[in-house]
Amino acid sequence: MKKATFLVLILLGGTLSLFAQGNKPTAPAFGFTFGVQGLQNLSVVTNPTVGFRYWMENGMTGRLSLNLATTNHTVVSNDPNDSGTENTVTTKNTNFGIAIGVQKNFTGTKNLNPYAGVDLGVSTAGGGTLTQRAESVDSTSLLGAVGNYQETVTTNPKGISIGLTPFVGFDYFFVPNLSLGVEFGWGLSTANQKDGKVETTSKFGSTTTTTSVSGGSDKNFTLGSHGSSTITMTVFF
């Protein structure tokens, strides 16, 4: 019993000693971070993100963040006003973003690291397609014979977005070199996009027709704000 108690006291003392020394990385240190955003509008780097950190001796940290966001969603339903028609709606979109930045780490505590900084980000913006298809699956369909259909593909405007995002946040190192944190950012961004197009294809019997309406090569320039609240996990080596 005494040996067990002695062992527990040693472990407890070692744990308290560990926390007394602090768990922040010793500069210079290289880190990897993973973040999930909870709020976004026209965010340059959308959720989720992965990134890299370089903890420097002068209290600064260099940042690089990457993101690849994809959507591929299909909903199939029957027309409530026409039991012989099946409706399919498919949404597809892919955007990639990259951001570089720097943050200033403040004193905080042995385990808490508050900071502030700024990111400059570039990403693809908009784009993607919305496909709406109505197809006859029964001879009672308003579209006529089975196999007849009408399909409309809307291609959204796509371009490049550039944004500057000041941010504040904190990391808490609950074990050596491993932290959980929260970051809040708000900034401005611009988007320069080419117009999209709408293409409709109809098949009735042996006849298939296609019409297309496009904005050509005209570009739309917008200026807006974007915000983000991000939960992060970072490990330093």
Could you read off the pLDDT of 2-38 as tens digits, one per residue? 444 444 434 444 444 444 468 999 999 999 999 887 5
- Model confidence pTM above 0.75: no
| Alpha helices, H only, the chain | 2-21
Q: Across the strands, what pairs with 99?
A: 65, 121
- What is the residue range of 102's domain? 25-236
Name the DSSP class of 106.
Answer: P
Q: How far apart are CA 219 and CA 43, in angstroms?
A: 20
In the chain, the number of structural domains is 1
Contact 162, 193 (CB under 8 A): no
Contacts of 191 (CB under 8 A, 6+ apart): 42, 125, 126, 159, 160, 161, 220, 221, 222, 224
Q: How many CB atoms lie within 10 A of CB 182?
A: 15
In a domain, 110, yes or no: yes
In a domain, 56, yes or no: yes
In a domain, 37, yes or no: yes
In a domain, 11, yes or no: no
The bridge status of strand 219-236 relative to strand 207-214 is unpaired
State pLDDT tens for residues 38-95.
Answer: 544 433 444 678 999 999 999 999 999 998 888 899 999 987 777 899 999 999 999 8
Name the DSSP class of 141.
Answer: S
pLDDT above 90 (res 146): yes
Contact 32, 53 (CB under 8 A): yes
CATH code (residue 42):
2.40.160.20
DSSP 3-67: HHHHHHHHHHHHHHHHHHH--PPPSSEEEEEEEEEEE-SS-SS-SSEEEEEEE-TTSEEEEEEEE
In a domain, 172, yes or no: yes
Q: How many CB atoms lie within 10 A of CB 76?
A: 10
Q: Widest CA span of the chain, in angstroms?
A: 92
Q: Which of 180, 179, 183 is nearest to 169 (CA)?
A: 183
In a domain, 16, yes or no: no
Would you state the pLDDT for residue 230? 87
Q: How far apart are CA 214 and CA 153, in angstroms?
A: 12
Contact 126, 115 (CB under 8 A): no
In a domain, 219, yes or no: yes
In a domain, 102, yes or no: yes
Strands (E), 106-206: 112-126, 129-136, 149-155, 158-175, 178-194, 197-204
State pLDDT tens for residues 108-135.
Answer: 999 999 999 999 999 998 889 999 999 9
Would you state the pLDDT for residue 188? 86
pLDDT above 80 (res 208): yes
Phi, psi of 11 (to 5 degrees): -65, -40
